[in-house]
């Protein structure tokens, strides 16, 4: 098919891709298997709509989940259409919501200069809510409370609706905290990421005129990674698309790995129910992996019930077998993995290799071995640049310059760097503001500090004057110059010792922040954000919005060595060589899965995602034992290994596996049995399998309602440790929070999560 620009789609797309890209009116679901070129389909569909169907670019909206994916997609569309900047919206859900709320937020009671709170800010508010309600953090851990609030928002449940559904003591208290948390958010003129979606839904539901305007900008709506959408995002999509709208949803149910943060797989499994008359297409040709890798991963994922089903194929050839190594322990595993990668260095660069693990804790042994063999590597998912303390401090200053009523940011920098405003003075300041019914900044700005000691009054006045000076500078200086002035006047420029490695790293981080500001300034000068030339206008707001929306994987650098990351972080990436380590029961599937079908299927999808990152070579490994909390623990291999087609595997094991006395007490891990003194002829493996079956039948999980013989009923808050040292953290309705050793807990499950 040719477009008016002479673009022959058949030269760039296969027949299935062409059909998806040239879909006419109405909804369609494109089931895009791993490595099947879904981004190409989306970008060519946008180009086809503009050039062939004559659709105005501003009437097309494309949303995805990460800034990295959005930037790649946007760049491809700009290249195809030759439009710079592109009038089409291409970005994340939150970027779309941010634009809508900046423009129309006052209609849902949002201040024009609202702040976007990050996770640290949210935790602070939860802690403040706990203090105001007189509830102990030991019983109501802030992250657990925040997760419950986030889950409610993702289901579009406000505090009242959440409270109406609360059916136990813990949930009822969370409902109270939820209401208090929202009040504190409003006081700080802030929203969190969940609010951005729910407020956008509320905006369109309450304001028909705004709804119509936003729909006009999404007459053709394209949604990437549809399997990762939650209830609130689906509601947003339905409002934008309307009845029978031109929605193209692209996704893969086999790569749905975010159920734990609210994603609902049913959104893609039951797509036709939500969008009647939808056309469903499959992309099954894979351009990434060898057929052996596709068949091995396909054999694994076929065991999932919650899927539509696809059979991936490629013309890249059969390729090498998948290698599986059974190691004695994590040190042996690490040696094998690193030695294997070293052996491939004549054919591949280090940056073409990745080691994937289920949990961050698994990286220690691998990092030590990489260092021992002097192999360069990058740990993906460490502390994010914008989450580092010194960066958060300076960004908080910028937020206060834009909006001094942002009390969360104001209190963060009040004594940072230290300027003699201690905790006592801060508490007095908060109390005085509350007594007067004012915000902290109002108190400072009016200079009503007579109740403070002369020393504290001088320090508070100096802080106020500093902020006022910097606000004036923001009206005159571009953002990079403002940042340099800020670093000088606050003292950050000379705060850290250049001869100390940590101090040097912090200084480099601050310099990098100035570089980021410079990039924003260049974008402004190019006309991308309105052409302002001082930091007082859209430039500062745009920069702070950018800081709020950046995700860790966006800052990933692939050219520094072997990539070491979790399976979740690897989503969307690809490497010629991939090693997946730690394929043991309790790690993958993770022990938190607790045997529930949906949980185990998500863990299986996670391994599938890891395996399909590999282009040429795939290596798997597991350990006979692993050190956990300082003690060695016998491990069972992952049940997923038995689901891989045996004919596609080359299996080897550590030569010292049974020679080492420390590992010779249990043989069942590799299918061998041994009599145990005083226990008859029952193998250890049979006993473990029996115990696991008994535990899984009870399914004690986070959120489960349980009953204890003497403590009564309660809610499982957390699970800690593993093996014989596993503990249940339970909040009992009458006895409060208790930790119980799992093997002696004697809990009866009343209802599941």
What's the pLDDT score for residue 364? 80
When pLDDT is averaged across residues 499-504 and rounded to a whole number, the result is 64
Sign of CA dihedral 88, 91, 92, 94: negative
DSSP 536-563: TSHHHHHHHHHHHH--GGGG--SSSSEE
DSSP 19-44: HHHT--SS-EEEEE-TTS-HHHHHHH
Identify the active-site residue in 3, 16, 28, 38: 38
Identify the active-site residue in 39, 461, 471, 696: 39
Confidence grade of residue 170 (pLDDT, cut at 50, 70, 90) = confident
Could you read off the pLDDT of 293-320 as tens digits, one per residue?
999 999 999 999 999 989 999 999 999 9
Residue 423 burial (CB < 10 Å; 0-12/13-18/19+)?
Answer: exposed
Whether 613 is a known active-site residue: answer yes
Could you read off the pLDDT of 409-461 as tens digits, one per residue?
999 999 999 888 888 898 898 988 888 888 889 888 888 787 888 888 899 99
CA dihedral 108, 109, 112, 115 (to 10 degrees): -100
Question: Of 366 and 560, which is predicted with more confidence?
Answer: 366
What's the pLDDT score for residue 2? 38
Q: Which two tokens stand for residue 27?
A: 């909804």
What's the pLDDT score for residue 694? 46
Distance between CA atoms of residues 344 and 643, nearest Å: 27
SS (H, E, C) 250-298: EECHHHCCCHHHCCCCHHHHCHHHHCCCCEEEEECECCCCCHHHHHHHH
Q: Which residues contact 537 (CB under 8 A, 6 or more apart)?
A: 530
Q: Which stretch of 204-208, 373-377, 555-559 has the lowest confidence by average pLDDT?
A: 555-559
What's the pLDDT score for residue 434? 87
What's the pLDDT score for residue 650? 94
When pLDDT is averaged across residues 619-644 and rounded to a whole number, the result is 85
In percent, the amount of the chain with pLDDT more than 90 equals 48
Task: Please tell me the chain's helix, strand, coil percentages from 3-state DSSP, rounded to the nearest 5.
Answer: 50, 15, 35
Q: Which stretch of 138-152, 345-359, 629-643 has the lowest confidence by average pLDDT?
A: 629-643
Using the predicted structure, report yes or no on whether residue 621 has a pLDDT greater than 50.
Answer: yes
Could you read off the pLDDT of 47-103 as tens digits, one per residue?
999 988 899 999 999 999 888 888 888 888 888 888 777 888 999 999 999 999 999
Confidence grade of residue 219 (pLDDT, cut at 50, 70, 90) = very high
Q: Where are the beta strands (DSSP E) in 318-435?
A: 322-327, 353-357, 377-379
Distance between CA atoms of residues 369 and 211, nearest Å: 56
Q: Which residues contact 465 (CB under 8 A, 6 or more apart)?
A: none
Q: Which two tokens stand for residue 536?
A: 């007082």
Provide the b/e sequence for 578-605 (b: ≥16 CB within 10 Å). bbbbbbbbbbbbbeebbbbeebbbbbbb
- Computed over every residue of the chain, the mean pLDDT equals 84
Report CA-CA distances (Å) from 59 to 95, 212, 214.
17, 12, 9
Could you read off the pLDDT of 509-545 as tens digits, one per residue?
888 888 878 877 776 666 544 444 565 567 888 888 8
Identify the active-site residue in 194, 225, 254, 602: 225
With CA atoms as reference, report the closest residue to 391 among 496, 497, 481, 471: 496
Whether 594 is a known active-site residue: answer no
Q: Which stretch of 480-494, 557-571, 685-699, 719-733 has the lowest confidence by average pLDDT?
A: 685-699
Whether 726 is a known active-site residue: answer no
Identify the active-site residue in 217, 399, 613, 624: 613
What's the pLDDT score for residue 525? 67
Q: Which stretch of 145-149, 635-639, 738-742 has the lowest confidence by average pLDDT?
A: 738-742
Question: Of 198 and 380, which is predicted with more confidence?
Answer: 198
When pLDDT is averaged across residues 13-33 and rounded to a whole number, the result is 94
Whether 38 is a known active-site residue: answer yes
* Cβ 563 vs Cβ 366: under 8 Å: no
CA-angle at 423, arms to 422 and 426, nearest 5°: 90
Whether 39 is a known active-site residue: answer yes
Sign of CA dihedral 153, 158, 160, 161: negative
Confidence grade of residue 140 (pLDDT, cut at 50, 70, 90) = confident
Whether 426 is a known active-site residue: answer no
Could you read off the pLDDT of 187-212 as tens digits, one per residue?
888 999 999 999 999 999 999 999 99
Q: Which stretch of 14-23, 124-133, 522-531 has the lowest confidence by average pLDDT?
A: 522-531
Identify the active-site residue in 118, 121, 224, 228: 224
Could you read off the pLDDT of 582-614 as tens digits, one per residue?
999 988 988 777 657 888 899 999 999 999 999
Distance between CA atoms of residues 571 and 228, nearest Å: 12
Question: Of 379 and 27, which is predicted with more confidence?
Answer: 27
What's the pLDDT score for residue 1? 39
What's the pLDDT score for residue 500? 62
Could you read off the pLDDT of 222-244 as tens digits, one per residue?
999 999 999 999 999 999 998 87
Identify the active-site residue in 43, 61, 227, 255: 255
What's the pLDDT score for residue 603? 94
Question: Of 143 and 620, which is predicted with more confidence?
Answer: 620
- Hey, what domains does the chain have and what are their CATH numbers? 9-106+197-283 (3.40.50.300), 118-187 (1.10.10.160), 291-383+557-665 (3.40.50.300), 386-549 (1.10.486.10), 700-751 (2.30.30.390)
Q: Which two tokens stand for residue 313?
A: 């194929």
């Amino acid at each position: 098919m040719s477009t008016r620009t002479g673009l022959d789609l058949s030269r760039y797309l296969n027949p299935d891709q062409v059909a998806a890209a040239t879909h006419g009116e109405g909804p369609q679901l494109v089931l895009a298997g791993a490595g099947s070129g879904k981004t190409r389909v989306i970008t060519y569909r946008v180009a086809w709509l503009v050039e062939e169907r004559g659709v105005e670019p501003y009437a097309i909206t494309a949303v995805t989940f990460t800034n990295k994916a959005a930037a790649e997609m946007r760049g491809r569309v700009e290249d195809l259409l030759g439009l710079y900047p592109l009038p089409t919206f291409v970005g994340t859900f939150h970027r779309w919501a941010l634009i809508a709320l900046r423009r129309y937020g006052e209609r849902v009671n949002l201040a024009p200069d609202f702040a976007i709170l990050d996770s640290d800010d949210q935790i602070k508010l939860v802690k403040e809510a706990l203090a105001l309600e007189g509830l102990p953090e030991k019983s109501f851990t802030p992250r657990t409370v925040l997760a419950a609030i986030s889950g409610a928002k993702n289901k579009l449940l406000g505090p009242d609706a959440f409270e109406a559904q609360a059916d136990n003591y813990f949930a009822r208290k969370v409902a109270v905290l939820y209401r208090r948390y929202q009040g504190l958010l409003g006081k700080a003129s802030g929203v969190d990421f969940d609010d951005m979606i729910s407020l956008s839904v509320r905006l369109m539901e309450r304001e028909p005129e705004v709804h119509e305007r936003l729909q006009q900008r999404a007459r053709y709506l394209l949604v990437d990674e549809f399997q990762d959408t939650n209830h609130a995002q689906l509601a947003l999509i339905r409002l934008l698309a309307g009845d029978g709208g031109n929605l193209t949803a692209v996704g893969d149910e086999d790569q749905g790995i975010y159920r734990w943060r609210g994603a609902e797989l049913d959104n893609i499994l039951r797509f036709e129910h939500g969008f009647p008359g939808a056309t469903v297409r499959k992309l099954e040709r894979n351009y990434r992996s060898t057929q052996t890798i596709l068949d091995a991963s396909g054999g694994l994922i076929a065991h999932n019930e919650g899927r539509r089903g696809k059979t991936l194929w490629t013309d890249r050839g059969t390729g090498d077998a998948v290698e599986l190594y059974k190691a004695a322990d994590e040190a042996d595993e690490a040696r094998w993995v690193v030695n294997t990668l070293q052996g491939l260095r004549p054919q591949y660069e280090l940056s073409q290799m990745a080691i994937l693990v289920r949990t961050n804790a698994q990286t220690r042994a691998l990092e030590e071995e990489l260092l021992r063999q002097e192999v360069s590597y990058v740990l993906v998912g460490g502390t994010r640049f914008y989450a580092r303390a010194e960066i958060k401090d300076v960004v908080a200053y910028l937020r206060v310059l834009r909006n001094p009523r942002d009390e969360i940011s104001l209190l963060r920098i009040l004594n940072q760097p230290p300027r003699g405003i201690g905790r006592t003075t801060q508490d007095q300041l908060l109390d005085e503001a509350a007594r007067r019914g004012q915000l902290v900044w109002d108190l400072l700005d009016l200079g009503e500090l007579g109740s403070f000691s002369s020393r504290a009054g001088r320090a508070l006045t100096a802080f106020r004057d500093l902020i006022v000076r910097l606000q004036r500078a923001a009206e005159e200086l571009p953002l990079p110059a403002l940042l340099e002035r800020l670093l000088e006047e606050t003292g950050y420029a000379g705060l850290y010792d250049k001869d100390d490695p940590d101090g040097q790293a912090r200084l480099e981080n601050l310099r990098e922040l100035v570089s980021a500001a410079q990039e924003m300034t260049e974008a402004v000068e190019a006309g991308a954000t309105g052409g302002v030339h001082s930091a007082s206008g859209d430039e500062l707001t745009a920069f702070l919005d950018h800081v709020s929306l950046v995700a860790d994987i966006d800052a990933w650098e692939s050219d520094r060595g072997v990539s070491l990351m979790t399976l979740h972080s690897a989503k969307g990436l690809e490497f010629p060589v991939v090693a997946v380590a730690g394929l043991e029961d309790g790690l993958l599937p993770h022990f938190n899965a607790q045997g529930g079908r949906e949980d185990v299927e998500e863990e299986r999808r996670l391994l599938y995602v890891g395996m399909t990152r590999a282009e040429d070579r795939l290596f798997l490994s597991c350990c006979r034992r692993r050190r956990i909390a300082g003690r060695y623990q016998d491990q069972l291999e992952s049940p997923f290994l038995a689901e891989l087609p045996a004919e596609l595997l080359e299996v080897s094991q550590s030569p010292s596996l049974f020679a080492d006395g420390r590992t010779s007490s249990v043989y069942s891990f590799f299918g061998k049995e041994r009599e145990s003194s005083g226990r008859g002829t029952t193998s250890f493996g049979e006993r473990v399998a029996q115990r696991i079956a008994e535990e899984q039948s009870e399914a004690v999980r986070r959120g489960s309602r349980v009953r204890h013989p003497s403590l009564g009923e309660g809610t499982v808050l957390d699970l800690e440790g593993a093996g014989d040292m596993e503990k249940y953290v339970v909040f009992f309705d009458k006895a409060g929070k208790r930790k119980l050793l799992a093997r002696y807990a004697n809990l009866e499950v009343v209802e599941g999560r």
